[in-house]
Amino acid sequence: MSSQPEAFRALVGEWNTEAVHPGLPDTVVPGRTSVEWLEGEQFLILRSRNEHPAFPDSISIIGATDEEESLTMHYFDSRGAFRVARVSMEDGVWRIWSGGPSGFSHRFSGSFSDDGDTISGVHQLSRDGSTWNDDLAIKYRRAA
């Protein structure tokens, strides 16, 4: 991974997750995410499973795929959805963002705890490119 490789090492490992979505405000959905390097450490593989039928399982690949400085994430899920987004990791904050010609934009910001064992983040959506609404709050806790 040619850009920011050391910062992304903080993601590697097994994580227990808890997610809350505005559509199910009283439901905390447990799950698990594993993050590992593809051989050669040029790409990260993220696999996420959730214990609720309304939450898709997914796989994402993060790496440098073009001439730009930022990294790219290719996301695929069990609903058949796929997206391409930009990704960064700076000062203990993991960011993901994408925008599309249809006006649908997505962003995520997750902050690491001081000990690196917890990430607290929120996914947000925008349909007009300027108004952002919280979509999914998620907490990652490093598995023992």
Q: Could you say which residues of the chain have pLDDT below 50?
A: 2-3
Number of H helices, E strands in the chain: 1, 10
Between CA 119 and CA 92 the distance in angstroms is: 9
Q: Is residue 63 a contact partner of residue 84, using CB atoms and an 8 Å limit?
A: no
Interval 9-27: pLDDT, tens: 999 999 999 999 999 989 9
The structure's pTM equals 0.91
CATH class of the structural domain 5-142: mainly beta
Measured distance CA(85)–CA(95) in Å, rounded:
10
